[in-house]
Chains A and B, each alone.
Chain A
Amino acid sequence: MSFMTGVGLTSYGKHEGSSSLDLMSKAAQLALDDAGLKRADIDGILCGYSTVSPHIMLATVFAEHFGIRPSYAHAVQVGGATGLAMTMLAHQLVEAGVCRNMLVVAGENRLTGQSRDASIQALAQVGHPDYEVPLGPTIPAYYGLVANRYMHEYGVTEEDLAEFAVLMRAHACTHPGAQFHDPITVADVMASKPVAMPLKLLDCCPVSDGGAAFVISRERTGEAGVRICGCAQAHTHQHVTAMPGLSELGAEISIARAKQATGLAISDVRYAAIYDSFTITLAMLLEDLGLAGRGEAADRVRSGHFGRDGAMPLNTHGGLLSYGHCGVGGAMAHLVEAHLQMTGRAANRQVRDASIALLHGDGGVLSSHVSMFLEQVA
């Protein structure tokens, strides 16, 4: 058994003059304070990567900088799935008795530390160096291909996809830390600049600066508790060229494994925190995970199903699409928000019931998947 005992999250957007280590440190301090723990209590560190400041030993660079001498430390790299993959590993290390309190941390000055072109180029390298990258694709193009096919097979429209951008923006408008606070409409999304069709600017997450951290512990440190029930992964491919058919993607495999590991069903879930790098990512994952029927996720957005007061509140902080995306920390914000909801601390965003949460992350081009169930413990 493991507990999520503390969370820390910076605002996302511009943090002019902050390095990746600065943002990691800020988030880590917030998480320690939230858990009521001191540096000496932390005996394990897992950290993500920084495209702005790559290092072959980022975890020990951070540990030295922050002032911790852990008995276990290394970085993890699974693209957008890194945050949940680290949490899964922390859970297992704690359960195995290797560590008592693990700090999971990521942060990056991806917006102000490098040009947008540099970010887009760095990320496009997840493509095959010989068979894809020479063709000049971008991450939006990889997902644009998937979107084109998904829309064709399941009758999803560009207007349907736009609904997810509008929902995430509406949620971000209620969170002071979000990168964007101007409401948008489906018409705004449709009229935004084409990036990699059918994806337009507002179908894509932004590039952000920010940091996020949490502490995974063997014992609870406070009154309100969140327990990690269980998690699972699936990795079907790396490159979009080698992606299996739409009915054989990793999200369906990892959620099936996570359900089996925990004995939980989708009908038990009260809050959803789902990876949303693009509108198509969110639409597909909701349907792959069983949070909506095939081709029906957009209708569920329109009916308010995924809103704060709906039956399945989703990414109430605004997600990657509107809270922001600073790399590994991006999807960790989903987990921080889930924790706040489960401990009744989400202020004006608080949902009625977040007793059981489902989290799902995706890395690459729907390549790597991590599903996780969290449970409130009174």
Chain B
Amino acid sequence: MSERLADWTRGEEAITYQTCTACDHVQYFHRAFCAACGVTGLREARASGKGRVYATSLVCRAATPETRAHVPYNILLVDCSEGFRMMAHGANGLAIGDSVTASFRPFAGTLVPFFTKET
């Protein structure tokens, strides 16, 4: 198995995903094995950062002082073009089906993926 690529969950400006070399299953949550067939042969890659909005929710009530400083912030589920779904932040006003592209922004002391409408 290849070495783990750094991504936004480790402070890098990247989104990574895994593809099973045996069954082609695509997974976003990093694991040492394929959740579909169990084999350990996984190929890691950087995603293009392109996708479509699956759902949005504008958070207006946050629970910590760090996140409260950012309200309102838009939480998205994005269906990425590589075939996995991820949670991210996005521009206000995005709607289901919008084509979006990822950038990265600081949020509550960390770096998070932030999607905007593809122009």
Residues of A participating in the B interface, judged by any CB pair closer than 8 Å: 117, 120-121, 124, 128, 130-132, 134-138, 140-142, 144-149, 152, 193-199, 239-242
A120 & B63 in contact (Cβ 8 Å cutoff): yes
Set B63, B75, B108: member contacting A145, Cβ < 8 A: B75
List the B side residues contacting A147 at CB < 8 Å. 57
List 15 other contacts, CB 8 Å, given A145-B56, A196-B59: A130-B29, A130-B30, A131-B29, A131-B87, A135-B89, A136-B59, A136-B73, A136-B108, A140-B57, A140-B59, A144-B57, A194-B61, A198-B57, A199-B57, A241-B85
Q: Can you identify 13 A-B contacts, CB atoms within 8 angstroms? A: A124-B63, A134-B107, A136-B62, A136-B67, A136-B75, A137-B57, A138-B61, A147-B57, A148-B56, A194-B72, A197-B60, A240-B77, A241-B87
Which B residues are closer than 8 A to A by beta carbons? 9, 28-30, 54-64, 66-67, 70, 72-73, 75-77, 85-89, 96, 107-108, 110, 112
B9→A130 contact, CB < 8 A? yes
Q: Which of the residues A137, A239, A242 comes within 8 Å of B75, measured between beta carbons? A: A137
Residues of A within 8 A of B61 (CB): 120, 138, 140, 193-196
Question: Interface on chain B toward A: helix, strand, loop, or mixed SS?
Answer: strand
Task: Decide: A148 and B108 in contact? CB cutoff 8 A.
Answer: no
With A149-B54, A241-B87 given, is the CB distance from A135 to B64 under 8 Å? no
Query: How far apart are B27's CB and chain A's nearest CB, in angstroms?
Result: 9
Question: Are B96 and A138 in contact, CB atoms less than 8 angstroms apart?
Answer: no
Smallest Cβ distance from A292 to chain B, in angstroms?
Answer: 22
User: Considering only CB atoms, which chain A residue lies closest to B78 in the complex?
Assistant: A241
- In contact, A193 and B60 (Cβ under 8 angstroms): yes
Chain B residues whose CB sits within 8 angstroms of the CB of A145 once the complex forms: 55-57, 75-77
Residues of A within 8 A of B55 (CB): 145-146, 148-149, 152
CB-based nearest B residue for A144: B57
A242 to chain B, nearest CB (A): 7
Instruction: Give min CB distance, A145 to chain B, whole Å.
Output: 4
The answer for the CA separation of A128 and B64 in the assembled complex, in Å, is: 17
